[in-house]
Structure 1
Amino acid sequence: MSTPPADPAPLSARRRPEWAGRNYSLLTAAAVVTNLGSHGALIAASFAVIQTGGSPGDVGLVAAARTLPLVLFLLIGGAIADRLPRHRVMVGANALNCVSQAAFAVIVLTGHPRLWQMMLLTALCGTGTAFFNPAAEGMLLSTVSGPHANRAFALFRMAMNGAGIGGAALGGALIAAMGPGWVLAVDAAAFAVAGALRAFLDVGHIPDRAPGGGLLSDLREGWVEFKTRPWLWSIVLQFSVVVAVVGAAEAVYGPLVARDRLGGAAPWGLALAFFGVGTIAGAFLMMAWKPRRLLLVGTLCVFPLALPSAGLAVPLPVWALCLVMLVSGLAIEVFGVSWMTTMHQEIPEEKFSRVSAYDWFGSVSMLPLATALAGPVESAVGRTSALWGCAALVILVTGLVLLVPDVRRMTRKSAKEAAEVHAAPPAPGHAPPGLTRPHPRATT
């Protein structure tokens, strides 16, 4: 967007690319702050349970308590985010996350938290995430212009994952030095700061959506968009298994292997940080590389997600596990940018949040069950066999999704072709897509 000579742009605006407008910058900054806190807090929650004498089953129950509300409330969150101003939904969700994590920190720092208390507070945090994710997905997707989508998504994810590196490494170190309670307190503060940043998002140019057929009607519209695209529902089904087994390995088995074989929280935090380094490398790659067959390339890059579970099963020494995490992080970032670019070019703007909600819902639907069963499965077959099973499932479902023709054939559209998707008349009360793309989403 050019600037008239009589009204020169501020220095900060001239330093950033033309497509990186105010909303994009605020979303990126808020995502950085959130990820600095949340990556350490995920480790802290597991070690809070372990330090109170909790069993592997208890660790899994707390992890499941965080993800179960995602399954219960994601679809509602997506419909609400397409009806209300998305930034208000995001700020409200951040406020709930802040309060729940602060309370979790207090009970850990002041005494011996009970299992039900930790489950309740992580469930509240998961509820906030259920409303936040579809709104954030839609907000970022709607602030990126078509020709620059690949680069914008890659840069956003690079900043977000870079913060995850620092958060995981710092979180592991702080847990070892000061205990998990202080890491949870940092996460609460991060949610407060991020919510304040998101409150300044500019949505004044987007008209409010007029009342339509109600929440159920909105959900039906999103379902139609979802079920009529084989590439979409097949990959979501794939990730319902991938996210479940990788989540169980990371949230339950990883901390236990770290405790028993790797030396505790700090080495595990370091391994997770190397995963983050890999995602940054993948984002750098995707800023320059624009593969034509978006989903074929992306799906091939899901296979390396089997490596961390296999590495924990051996178990590999810390340096080798870090290398495995680096490779898997790079590969999944190629998938992530390819997936976001595909969603951006194929889904109408006014339905971003609802379709995103079905995506998130399907992807995390099996995660609560997987984390809750991780402990019993370990007791039944042993930790090593359970981890090898996780790796095998990733390989199996990823191979199956490559049988879907639309996954193999999906190609990158030109700017003109992508614009045609968003040029269709919007639903009553929606802003025309052009109004929502003056400058600059994904997950946050």
Structure 2
Amino acid sequence: MTPTTEDLRGDAPPRGPLLLDPAFLRLWCGATASGLATWSLPFVLGLAVLERSITPTVLGLVLAARTVGFLLAVPAAGVLADRYSRRAVVLWAGLAAAVAAPVIAYGLGRSTLVMAVAALVAGAGQGACRPAFQALTAEVVLAADRRRANAAMTVAVRVTSLVAPGLTALLATVAGVWALLIATGALWLVAGLLPPAGKPSAPTSGTRFAPVAEFLEGVREARRHPWFLAGLGALTAVIATGYSATGVALPLVSRDDYGTEFVLAAATTGYTVGALLGGLLLSRWSPRAPGWTALLGLGCYGLAPLSLVVPTSPLVVIAAYVVAGVGIELFNVPWFTATQHEVAPDKLARVSSLDFLLSYGLAPLGLSVMAPLIEHVGVAPVMVGCAVICFAAPALAALHPSSRSFATGSAVRG
């Protein structure tokens, strides 16, 4: 069906169940496969450490190489996905990661260098997929359906996060780590081959390829949207401080204050369950002030570090993580939907790459700072400081008038 002007502006009503749309179903399955493959590599390599196929040091080096690949690929993929076909970028990114997975398997117990180089390629595939999938979603899904589409994407990710660890551990007892790494490559193959084609890309013949200048065009587009800069600043602050700090502190608190791994496992599961509930809520509910709702949800993450300040009932910690999980999806779904709707379509992948580069790119830096900081000053002061930042950053972002609806009056909408 040819989209109407109302469809493109987002004024038309939703068209019905999205998963009955073959194009969206292919996109949803491809994105889900990429999310599962992204999650599975560190988990499967963790199982390899337990089996003594590799050492914890090798695991750290391999995962660091994957992070480097991700950070190098994200801005380049944003430029390529705006200049050429978003579908083609997803394809080549998926194929690269699919080839890397069996190479990592080959390097197990043989060569750390081989594993690290392959992990670099896998990380590049993961990084290249992120902005390309965001832009491809805007091409495949009509504007009125994008909130539900983004909610469906995140629900799939959260269900996977709940089910996959136990299933993967069970399969490892039967098939082994090597086979699981091959299966990860197969998931990347699905992620690359399955998504549908989007809109034909604008012709680029005769124009000079200048990746730095073109990425800076995306930065200038982002600057046209004050709500985006404010929200990205808040998101980056929360991930670099609260998310990173709790990643270090929760295992320590679970061990030292409660003497059991139960709190760690229950809080982590509670966060995922909360995020799943948040995604389901946003699939049905369209908030009247989506920007303020999103920033309020983002601020809820401050409850996670706050629950770790002093020993309390495990139920308090678990409840805080559940609320934080709900909040993160109250942020994610309106955030992705607004970006797809408000940003100029020919610059969407570059703006999305800036989003992932700053928010997730600074997370490793936050982790590297939080561990020694906690060691020197203690868990409680660091948790209090991170909680204050998690509450304050979204509140400050909400002060700009455009943050109420995550909308810019002069935006070129897709």
TM-score interval, normalised by the smaller of the two chains: 0.7 to 0.9
Q: Which residue is equivalent to 1:189?
A: 183
CA distance in 1, matches of 2:275, 2:213: 38
Q: Which residue is equivalent to 2:225?
A: 229
CA distance in 1, matches of 2:161, 2:356: 20
Contact 1:77–1:130 at 8 Å: present in 2 too?
A: yes
Q: Which residue is equivalent to 1:434?
A: none
Specify which of 267, 272, 282 is matched with residue 268 of structure 2: 272
> How far apart are 1:301 and its partner, in Å?
0.8
Specify which of 358, 364, 369 is matched with residue 360 of structure 2: 364
1:303 matched to 2:299? The reply is yes
Letter in 2 for 1:277: V
Q: Cα–Cα, structure 1 residues 28 and 409, in superposed 2: closer, same or farther, change >3 Å?
A: closer
Q: Which residue is equivalent to 1:151?
A: 148
Letter in 1 for 2:139: S
Specify which of 186, 210, 223 is matched with residue 204 of structure 2: 210
Q: Which residue is equivalent to 1:165?
A: 162
Q: Cα–Cα, structure 1 residues 371 and 289, in superposed 2: closer, same or farther, change >3 Å?
A: same
TM-score (norm 2): 0.79
Contact 1:222–1:354 at 8 Å: present in 2 too?
A: yes
Q: Which residue is equivalent to 1:76?
A: 76
Q: Cα–Cα, structure 1 residues 102 and 273, in superposed 2: closer, same or farther, change >3 Å?
A: farther
CA distance in 2, matches of 1:400, 1:237: 10
1:39 matched to 2:39? The reply is yes
Q: Which residue is equivalent to 1:401?
A: 397
String of CA shifts for 1:30-77, please: whole Å, max 9, x gaps: 23334345435445556767987759xx98776655434433332111
> How far apart are 1:166 and its partner, in Å?
1.3
Letter in 2 for 1:309: P
> How does 1:32-431 map onto structure 2 within 5 Å?
32-43=32-43, 54=56, 65-104=65-104, 110=109, 122-170=119-167, 182=176, 186=180, 188-203=182-197, 206-207=200-201, 209-211=203-205, 212-214=207-209, 215-249=211-245, 251-255=247-251, 257=253, 263-264=260-261, 268-314=264-310, 320-408=316-404, 410=406, 421-422=413-414
Report the more deviating stretch, 315-324 or 125-134. 315-324
How many residues are matched? 397
Q: Which residue is equivalent to 1:29?
A: 29
CA distance in 1, matches of 2:198, 2:381: 55
> How far apart are 1:221 and its partner, in Å?
2.2
CA distance in 2, matches of 1:398, 1:235: 7
String of CA shifts for 1:223-252, please: whole Å, max 9, x gaps: 221112111112112222212224424654
Report the more deviating stretch, 365-374 or 135-144. 365-374
CA distance in 2, matches of 1:204, 1:404: 34
String of CA shifts for 1:72-121, please: whole Å, max 9, x gaps: 3321110011223222322332333344444555555x48x86x777655
Contact 2:147–2:282 at 8 Å: present in 1 too?
A: yes
Q: Cα–Cα, structure 1 residues 74 and 421, in superposed 2: closer, same or farther, change >3 Å?
A: same
Contact 1:169–1:272 at 8 Å: present in 2 too?
A: no
Q: CA RMSD in A?
A: 3.8
Sequence identity, in percent? 25
CA distance in 2, matches of 1:315, 1:102: 45
Q: Cα–Cα, structure 1 residues 213 and 327, in superposed 2: closer, same or farther, change >3 Å?
A: same
CA distance in 2, matches of 1:73, 1:248: 22
Contact 1:286–1:334 at 8 Å: present in 2 too?
A: yes
For the residue of structure 2 that corresponds to 1:224, the secondary structure is helix
Report the more deviating stretch, 95-104 or 365-374. 95-104
CA distance in 2, matches of 1:169, 1:253: 24
String of CA shifts for 1:378-427, please: whole Å, max 9, x gaps: 332234443443333222322221222221354699xxx99x723xxxxx
Contact 1:238–1:401 at 8 Å: present in 2 too?
A: yes
For the residue of structure 1 that corresponds to 2:140, the secondary structure is coil
Letter in 2 for 1:157: T
TM-score (norm 1): 0.75
Contact 1:293–1:411 at 8 Å: present in 2 too?
A: no
Unaligned ranges ≥5, structure 2: 3-15
Which structure exhibits the higher relative contact order, with contacts defined as CA atoms closer than 8 Å and separated by 6 or more residues? 1
Q: Cα–Cα, structure 1 residues 218 and 23, in superposed 2: closer, same or farther, change >3 Å?
A: farther
CA distance in 2, matches of 1:45, 1:268: 20
CA distance in 1, matches of 2:229, 2:393: 13
Unaligned ranges ≥5, structure 1: 3-15, 423-444
For the residue of structure 1 that corresponds to 2:203, the secondary structure is coil
Q: Which residue is equivalent to 1:440?
A: none
